[in-house]
């Protein structure tokens, strides 16, 4: 079975234009998140991509025009490569559905996508600031997981599920949700919201939190520090094993030198 290669990115906090004051001015202080997204997609597309997964906070309290602009940007950069996304706590559902509705399978953000035999399930946890998975979403998920899937399932949501991840509470969820995940054929869980990458397990399944494509924050009791940092994760699925590689866009890791393979053997023989 061929390997699948995809990108997991999160928390773009995109706006076409940011306000020159307050929180929005901080987001765009160094580099527009759009530049980070373009840089990432151009690089990774050239290495082959089966799809792109974006786990919420697509915009920062964006208006319809922001979602339309983001949709246009993704289409222009990705062409025929599919993208799968879901909203976060900073997204407005009506504006999101208006721009991306034609790319979702149902009129909500709880959806199922099939890419080359792999089923990707998106759950909308982002209606409240700390996130919530309801009983009825759990029932819906349980029905989805009964459908056969050739390559298994991935589950994507905005909020973390692990307690105290970067000092944040997990999305509220019923015990039946954890039990359902434990007994499922889910190969990996993907989320964002914390703006810090984190790899662990939830209910015995591999669990990946992506960095933000806009900025990073470090909070202590006295201070909240914004960091000019943007990164995403390159994922590879080989049979039923997921491997992850975190790639930084900002600060970019500088190249010292690059060599073609014939020059490289020459270098080591010198
Ligand atoms: Fe968030």
Q: Tens of pLDDT along 181-209?
A: 999 999 999 999 999 999 999 999 999 99
For the chain, the C-alpha Rg in angstroms (whole number) is 19
Please tell me the distance between residue 147's alpha carbon and the centre of ligand 1 in angstroms: 30
Ordered alpha helix ranges (H), 106-235: 135-144, 175-182
Q: In this structure, what DSSP letter does residue 103 have? A: G
Please tell me the distance between residue 88's alpha carbon and the centre of ligand 1 in angstroms: 5
Q: What's the pLDDT at 1?
A: 82
Residues with CB under 5 A from ligand 1 (ion): 57, 88-89, 193
Question: Residue 251: is the preceding peptide bond cis (ω within 30°)?
Answer: yes
* 159, 170 contact by CB (below 8 A): yes
How do the residues of the chain divide into helix, strand and coil, expressed in percent and rounded to 5?
A: 25, 30, 45
Please tell me the distance between residue 143's alpha carbon and the centre of ligand 1 in angstroms: 27
Q: What's the pLDDT at 128?
A: 86
- Of 2.60.40.3080, 3.40.50.1980, 3.60.21.10, 3.90.226.10, the CATH number of 4-269 is 3.60.21.10
Please tell me the distance between residue 269's alpha carbon and the centre of ligand 1 in angstroms: 51
Q: What's the pLDDT at 258?
A: 66
* 240, 152 contact by CB (below 8 A): yes
Please tell me the distance between residue 60's alpha carbon and the centre of ligand 1 in angstroms: 9
pLDDT classification of 240: cutoffs 50, 70, 90: very high
Please tell me the distance between residue 3's alpha carbon and the centre of ligand 1 in angstroms: 30
Q: What's the pLDDT at 254?
A: 65
Q: How far is it, in rounded angstroms, from Cα 112 to Cα 171? A: 20
Please tell me the distance between residue 268's alpha carbon and the centre of ligand 1 in angstroms: 47
Q: How far is it, in rounded angstroms, from Cα 262 to Cα 242? A: 32
- In the chain, beta strands by DSSP E: 4-9, 51-55, 83-86, 111-115, 118-122, 153-156, 186-191, 198-202, 205-209, 216-219, 224-227, 230-238, 241-250
Q: What is the pLDDT of residues 72-104, one digit of tens each?
A: 999 999 999 999 999 999 999 888 888 887 655
Please tell me the distance between residue 194's alpha carbon and the centre of ligand 1 in angstroms: 7
- Describe the strand order of the beta sheet including 198-202 as a list of residue ranges: 111-115, 118-122, 153-156, 186-191, 205-209, 198-202
Spatial CB neighbours of 22, under 8 Å, sequence gap ≥ 6:
none
Please tell me the distance between residue 90's alpha carbon and the centre of ligand 1 in angstroms: 6
Q: Is the dihedral of CA 74, 93, 68, 10 positive or negative?
A: negative
Nearest to 236 by CA among 206, 212, 214: 206
- Alpha carbon separation from 202 to 14, 179, 205, 249 (Å, rounded): 29, 11, 5, 28
Query: Across residues 117-126, what is the average pLDDT?
Result: 94
Q: 168-181: string of b/e by CB count within 10 Å (b at 16+)?
A: bebbebeeebeebb
Residue 130 dihedral angles phi and psi, to the nearest 5°: -95, -5
Please tell me the distance between residue 254's alpha carbon and the centre of ligand 1 in angstroms: 30
pTM of the model: 0.91
Please tell me the distance between residue 138's alpha carbon and the centre of ligand 1 in angstroms: 21
**Domain residue extents for the chain:** 4-269
Residue 67 dihedral angles phi and psi, to the nearest 5°: -65, -40
Q: What's the pLDDT at 105?
A: 46
């Amino acid at each position: 079975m061929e390997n699948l290669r995809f990108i997991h990115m999160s928390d773009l906090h995109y706006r076409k234009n940011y306000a020159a004051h307050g929180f929005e001015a901080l987001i765009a202080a160094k580099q527009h998140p759009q530049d980070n997204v373009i840089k990432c997609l151009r690089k990774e597309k050239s290495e082959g991509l089966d799809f792109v997964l974006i786990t919420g906070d697509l915009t920062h309290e964006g208006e319809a025009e922001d979602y339309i602009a983001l949709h246009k940007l993704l289409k222009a950069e990705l062409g025929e490569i599919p993208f799968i996304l879901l909203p976060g706590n900073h997204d407005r559902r009506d504006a999101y559905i208006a721009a991306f509705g034609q790319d979702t399978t149902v009129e909500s953000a709880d959806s199922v996508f099939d890419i080359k035999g792999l089923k990707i399930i998106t759950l909308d946890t982002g209606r409240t600031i700390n996130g919530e998975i309801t009983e009825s979403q759990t029932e819906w998920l349980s029905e989805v997981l009964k459908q056969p899937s050739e390559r298994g399932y991935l589950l994507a949501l905005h909020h973390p599920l692990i307690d105290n991840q970067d000092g944040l509470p997990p999305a509220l969820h019923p015990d039946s949700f954890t039990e359902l995940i434990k007994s499922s054929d889910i190969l990996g869980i993907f989320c964002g919201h914390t703006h810090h990458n984190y790899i662990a397990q939830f209910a015995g399944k591999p669990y990946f939190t992506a960095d933000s494509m806009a900025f990073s924050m470090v909070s202590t009791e006295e201070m909240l520090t914004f960091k000019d940092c943007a990164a995403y994760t390159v994922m590879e699925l080989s049979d039923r094993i997921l491997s992850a590689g975190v790639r930084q866009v900002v600060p970019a890791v500088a190249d010292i030198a690059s060599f073609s393979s014939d020059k490289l053997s020459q270098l080591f023989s010198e």
